[in-house]
Chain A
Amino acid sequence: MELISPTDFAIDFARDRVQAVQDYALLAARSVTNLFRRPLYVADMIQQADLIGVGSLPIVVLTGFFIGGALALNSANTLQRFGSLSLIGQLVAVGMVTELGPIITGLMVSGRNASGMASELGSMVVTEQIDAMRALGTDPTKKLVTPRVISTVFMLFFLTIISDACGLAGGGAVSSLMFGMDWHQYWSTAWQILVFRDVFTGLVKPVLFGFIIATVGCYYGLSARGGTQGVGRATTQAVVASSILIIILDFFITRLVMTIFGYR
């Protein structure tokens, strides 16, 4: 085994990290610019939208409903002490629409689809299918990456709206069934508290989260090396990296929106 000096190791490590960031940035940029170059793989986009959107629907509905319910339970516990149980609808609505809906949906779709993309593309890399595609004159970023990015962004937007609605329904179910709150009162307070800023924040996030999920999943898949073990590693890295990026990005989007629209 060849021994290398700590300095060489540090230089190689730094160069690899910078190279990885550059490669990711280039792939992300190409996934967007490919939209303006022919051919556009519309059929692949529809197929991916079905896999990502319809396929993720059950987990998004279930997690949204129960997160909304849990939020209502926790809020009620505190609000009861101050005799303000009627505010449950407001808390659940703001919490779900601005924060929990986008982030839970993003994390769920990341776990399901970033891993799927990384493993699918990674398997294609290690079996030379990506090289074969390039050899056949087809750009893999156009054929494989752009349809996944567009479909994820598009479907995550609607999945988040569904998750928000399910969360509100879950909160409503807890409020009325466990705390005897009037169903109509819950919905009217929940509806009235939401302002443009809340809805805007809640709908900008899934667009950016969708972009992160698909580009990170595809990047790790296309960078997979070292056979099946490498594919497994790429899959894990894709989920970890996209989940962390979603949470970090969530903080910065929230802060940015607050700066632009002011605090509530």
Chain B
Amino acid sequence: MTAPPIPVESALKSSQDASSPAIVFEQVSIAFERKPVLDGISFHLAKGETKAIFGVAGSGKSTILKLSLGLLKPDDGHIYVLGEDVTELSEEALFDLRRKIGMVFQESALFDSLTVRENVAFRLFEEGNVSEDEIERRVREALSFVELEHTVDMFPSELSGGMRRRVAIARAIVTQPEIILYDSPTGGLDPVTSNTIIELVVKQRDVYKTSSLLVTHRLQDAFTMANHYFDRKANQMKPLPPGARGEVPMGFLILRDGKVIFDGDVHELAQSKDEYIREYIS
């Protein structure tokens, strides 16, 4: 897997104001059809950190991602993304902010009438000021990152589930966004493909220092991410040395009944005395 170079402007921008969090949730509540899903939750995602979100089905994990993008508006509370309050922004202003964020949807959500090339290049086409040659180069780079360069002229219906998920990752990273939101990127995939996807997420975290929220049901995926790093020289994911376990920017967030019941790193998770959490991670 060859890594695409980070555009200079993007790298500079990422390094600026590195102390401020990428995403902040402040007392956010939302209900669907009078049923509360999130009830006053607060947490923050630091720049460069990847945070895995856990919870039973219907606990509001995907809702958190959609709220972060402004695809949904909360009933109460504030959400700050890259310093901007998305709860106050108009839809027009949100489109500008969303260009700095990549999202990998649960079922990939690739445009089925477009080829892989057109899907990956969608955002570049929309920017309107990128030359055809530059688009082709960046599409090839993004696809080589996910090892799917050969699928460039295929349609999503011709790809397997795992390949579609990887094309969705290529589409999300093609502009090197500052934040990436992954909605169950390994859901329904076999262990080998899941591992490939997790390796891509780790690579994005360690090579590009991208801030990420990752919704998953698979605890083992998050533990793999907490105990591995991406070795750029060897171009593969490697386990952290025993003394350095958990020394990567990886956080865990657990939801229960609309509340955050855990927000911390892998050490704190392992030491938690909460019965529900103990049962959840066992």
Binding site for B on A (CB under 8 A): 39, 124, 127-129, 131-139
Query: Which of A39, A124, A131, A137 counts the most chain B CB atoms within 10 A?
Result: A137
Question: CB within 8 A of A131: which of B95, B109, B126?
Answer: B109
B69 A135 Cβ-Cβ under 8 A: yes
A138 B95 Cβ-Cβ under 8 A: yes
B126 A137 Cβ-Cβ under 8 A: yes
Is B112 part of the contact surface with A, judged by Cβ < 8 Å?
yes
Distance in angstroms from A22 CB to nearest chain B CB is 16
For A135, what are the chain B residues with a Cβ–Cβ distance below 8 Å?
Answer: 69, 71, 98, 101, 103, 105
A128 CA / B128 CA spacing, docked (Å)? 24
Is B96 part of the contact surface with A, judged by Cβ < 8 Å?
yes
Is B107 part of the contact surface with A, judged by Cβ < 8 Å?
yes
- Chain B: residues with Cβ within 8 Å of the partner, total of 23
A134 B98 Cβ-Cβ under 8 A: yes
Is B123 part of the contact surface with A, judged by Cβ < 8 Å?
yes
Residues 74 to 93 of chain B near chain A (Cβ within 8 Å): 91-92
Question: CB within 8 A of A132: which of B92, B96, B111, B126?
Answer: B111
B105 A128 Cβ-Cβ under 8 A: yes
Chain B, residues 93-117, CB within 8 Å of chain A (1/0): the string is 0011011010101110111100000
Query: Which of B91, B109, B110 counts the most chain A CB atoms within 10 A?
Result: B109
Is B262 part of the contact surface with A, judged by Cβ < 8 Å?
no
25 contacts between A and B (CB under 8 A): A39-B126, A39-B128, A127-B107, A127-B112, A129-B111, A131-B66, A131-B71, A132-B105, A132-B110, A133-B111, A134-B69, A134-B71, A134-B95, A135-B69, A135-B101, A136-B98, A136-B99, A136-B122, A136-B126, A137-B95, A137-B96, A137-B123, A138-B95, A139-B92, A139-B95
Query: Which of A39, A131, A135 counts the most chain B CB atoms within 10 A?
Result: A135
Known: A135-B98, A137-B96, A137-B98. A128 touches B106 (CB 8 A): yes
Distance in angstroms from B266 CB to nearest chain A CB is 29
B112 A129 Cβ-Cβ under 8 A: yes
Q: Considering the complex, give the chain A residue whose CB is closest to the CB of B106.
A: A128
A134 CA / B106 CA spacing, docked (Å)? 15
A39 CA / B95 CA spacing, docked (Å)? 13
Q: Considering the complex, give the chain A residue whose CB is closest to the CB of B99.
A: A137
Distance in angstroms from B172 CB to nearest chain A CB is 9
Known: A39-B128, A127-B112, A131-B66. A136 touches B107 (CB 8 A): no
B103 A132 Cβ-Cβ under 8 A: yes
Distance in angstroms from B96 CB to nearest chain A CB is 7
For B106, what are the chain A residues with a Cβ–Cβ distance below 8 Å?
Answer: 128
Distance in angstroms from B264 CB to nearest chain A CB is 28
Distance in angstroms from A1 CB to nearest chain B CB is 14
Question: CB within 8 A of B105: which of A39, A131, A138, A139?
Answer: A131
For A128, what are the chain B residues with a Cβ–Cβ distance below 8 Å?
Answer: 105-107, 109
Distance in angstroms from B128 CB to nearest chain A CB is 6
Q: Considering the complex, give the chain B residue whose CB is closest to the CB of A141.
A: B91
A177 CA / B106 CA spacing, docked (Å)? 64
Shortest 3 CB-CB distances between A and B: which pairs?
Answer: A132-B109, A128-B109, A137-B99
A107 CA / B157 CA spacing, docked (Å)? 34
A128 CA / B71 CA spacing, docked (Å)? 11
A127 CA / B113 CA spacing, docked (Å)? 13
Q: Considering the complex, give the chain B residue whose CB is closest to the CB of A130.
A: B109
A139 B91 Cβ-Cβ under 8 A: yes
Question: CB within 8 A of A136: which of B66, B92, B112, B123?
Answer: B123
A128 CA / B72 CA spacing, docked (Å)? 13
Distance in angstroms from B113 CB to nearest chain A CB is 9
A138 CA / B123 CA spacing, docked (Å)? 8
11 further interface pairs, Cβ-Cβ under 8 Å (given A137-B123, A137-B126):
A127-B109, A128-B107, A128-B109, A129-B110, A132-B105, A132-B109, A133-B111, A134-B69, A135-B69, A135-B103, A136-B171
A107 CA / B252 CA spacing, docked (Å)? 56
For A129, what are the chain B residues with a Cβ–Cβ distance below 8 Å?
Answer: 109-112
A132 CA / B126 CA spacing, docked (Å)? 13
For B128, what are the chain A residues with a Cβ–Cβ distance below 8 Å?
Answer: 39
A70 CA / B49 CA spacing, docked (Å)? 73
A39 CA / B92 CA spacing, docked (Å)? 13
Query: Which of B99, B101, B126 counts the most chain A CB atoms within 10 A?
Result: B126
For B69, what are the chain A residues with a Cβ–Cβ distance below 8 Å?
Answer: 134-135
Q: Considering the complex, give the chain A residue whose CB is closest to the CB of B65.
A: A135
For B107, what are the chain A residues with a Cβ–Cβ distance below 8 Å?
Answer: 127-128
Distance in angstroms from B167 CB to nearest chain A CB is 12
For A137, what are the chain B residues with a Cβ–Cβ distance below 8 Å?
Answer: 95-96, 98-99, 123, 126
Q: Considering the complex, give the chain B residue whose CB is closest to the CB of A139.
A: B95
A127 CA / B168 CA spacing, docked (Å)? 14
